[in-house]
A and B are shown apart, each in its own frame.
Chain A
Amino acid sequence: MIDALPISETLSPTTQDELVVAVAEACRTRTAIYPVGGGTSLDYGLPAKAPGLALSLAGLKRVIDFPARDLTVTVEAGITLAELDALLATEGQWLPIEVPQAGRATLGGVVATAWCGPRRYGWGQVRDYVIGISAVDGRGLPFKGGGRVVKNVAGYDFCKLLTGSLGTLGVIAQITLRTKPRPAQSAIVACRFHDWAVAEKRLADLVASAIRPAAIEIVTGPAWNDLLPPTTPAAAGWLLVGLDGSDEQVSWMIDQLHAEWRAAGVTKSETIEPAGAAALWSRLTEFSAGADPASTPCPLAVKASLRPSAVVEFVRLVLEIDPAASVQAHAGSGVVVVRFADFPAAAVSRGLIGRLQPAAAASGGRLVVLSSTHTSELTRQAVWGGVTAADTWMRKVKTQFDPENLLNPGRFVY
Chain B
Amino acid sequence: MSLAIPLQVVDELAELLGRTAVLSAHSDLVVFECDGFVIEKTCPDVVVFPTTTEQVAGVVRICNRYGLTFVPRGAGTSLAGGCLPVGGGVMIALTRMRQILEINLRDRYAVVQPGVVNIWLTNALKGTGYHYAPDPSSQGACTIGGNVATNSGGPHTLKYGVTVNHTLAIEAVMADGSIAQFGGPTEDPVGLDLVGTLVGSEGTLAIVTKIWTRLTPDPQGVRTLLAIFDSVDDATGAISEIIGVGIVPAALEMMDQGILVAIEAASHFGFPLDAAAILLIEVDGLEAGLDRQRDQITQICTQAGAREVRQARDAKERQKLWKCRKTAFAAVGRLSSSYCTQDGVVPRTKLPHIQRRITEIGAKYGVRIVNVFHAGDGNIHPVLLFDERNPQEIANVLAAGGEILEECIAIGGSVTGEHGIGVEKISLMTKLFTPTDLDAMRRLRQAFNPDDRLSPGKMLPTAGACGLEQRHPGRRAAL
Contact = CB atoms under 8 A, between A and B. Distances in A.
A129 B347 CA distance: 16
Interface stretch (A63-71, A96-104, A229-237): A63-71
Contact of B196 (A148, A163, A414): A163
Nearest to A384: B190
Interface in B240-299: 240, 243-244, 246-248, 285-289, 292
B108 A365 contact: no
Interface string A107-125: 0000000100000100011
Nearest to A367: B190
Contacts of B347: 67, 70, 72, 148-149
A180 B432 CA distance: 26
Among B161, B193, B348, B378, residue most surrounded by chain A Cβ atoms (within 10 Å): B193
Contacts of A391: 191
Contact of A156 (B201, B243, B288, B418): B201
A211 B179 CA distance: 40
Contact of A151 (B104, B195, B378): B378
A114 B190 contact: no
B288 A308 contact: no
Nearest to A143: B440
A1 interface: no
A202 interface: no
Contacts of A253: 286, 288
Nearest to B420: A153
A52 B206 CA distance: 36
Interface size class of B (residues with CB under 8 A): 35 or more
Contacts of B428: 154
B414 interface: yes
Given A144-B433, A212-B285, A308-B106, A400 B348 contact: no
Interface string A229-273: 000000000000000011111011100000000000000000000
Contacts of B74: none
Contacts of B174: 393
Contacts of A141: 436, 439-440
A413 B191 contact: yes
B444 interface: yes
Interface stretch (B181-189, B362-370, B395-403, B466-474): B181-189
A69 B187 contact: no
Contacts of A399: 447
B330 interface: no
A305 B182 CA distance: 14
A215 to B, nearest CB: 14
A69 B107 contact: no
Contacts of B456: none
A153 B418 contact: yes
A238 B289 CA distance: 30
Contacts of B25: none
Interface stretch (B27-35, B119-127, B149-157, B309-317): B149-157
A275 interface: no
A240 to B, nearest CB: 19
B246 A92 contact: yes
B412 interface: yes
B184 A364 contact: yes
Contacts of B52: none
Contacts of A305: 186-189
A392 B182 CA distance: 11
A249 B288 contact: yes
Nearest to A366: B190
A280 B432 CA distance: 45
Interface string B65-94: 000000000000000000000000000000
Nearest to A92: B246
B178 A248 contact: no
Contacts of A192: none
A155 B347 CA distance: 18
Contacts of B429: 154-155
Interface in B106-152: 106-108, 129, 150-151
B99 to A, nearest CB: 19
Nearest to B178: A389
Nearest to A91: B246
B190 A148 contact: no
Contacts of B104: 307
B162 interface: yes
A128 B195 CA distance: 13
A368 B187 CA distance: 13
B467 to A, nearest CB: 14
Interface in A122-159: 124-125, 127-128, 137, 141-145, 147-159
A329 B81 CA distance: 45
Given A141-B440, A163-B196, A248-B289, A154 B421 contact: yes
B151 A157 contact: yes
B437 A148 contact: no
Interface string A379-414: 000001100111111101111110000000000111
Given A246-B288, A394-B192, 16 more contacts: A69-B243, A127-B196, A141-B436, A147-B413, A153-B151, A153-B414, A154-B415, A154-B428, A156-B205, A156-B459, A180-B248, A208-B129, A246-B292, A333-B187, A366-B184, A394-B194
Interface of A: 67-72, 92-93, 114, 120, 124-125, 127-128, 137, 141-145, 147-161, 163-165, 169, 180-181, 204, 207-208, 210-212, 245-249, 251-253, 303, 305-309, 333-335, 363-366, 368, 384-385, 388-394, 396-401, 412-414
17 contacts: A68-B244, A70-B378, A128-B161, A150-B348, A150-B378, A151-B417, A153-B200, A156-B205, A160-B193, A160-B197, A207-B105, A210-B220, A251-B288, A305-B186, A305-B188, A391-B191, A414-B191
Interface of B: 104-108, 129, 150-151, 153, 157, 161-162, 164-165, 174, 178-197, 199-201, 205, 217, 220, 240, 243-244, 246-248, 285-289, 292, 345-349, 374, 377-379, 412-421, 425, 428-429, 432-434, 436-441, 443-448, 459-460
Across the A-B interface, give the 6 residue pairs with the lowest CB-CB distance, nearest first. A160-B196, A181-B246, A252-B288, A69-B244, A365-B186, A143-B440
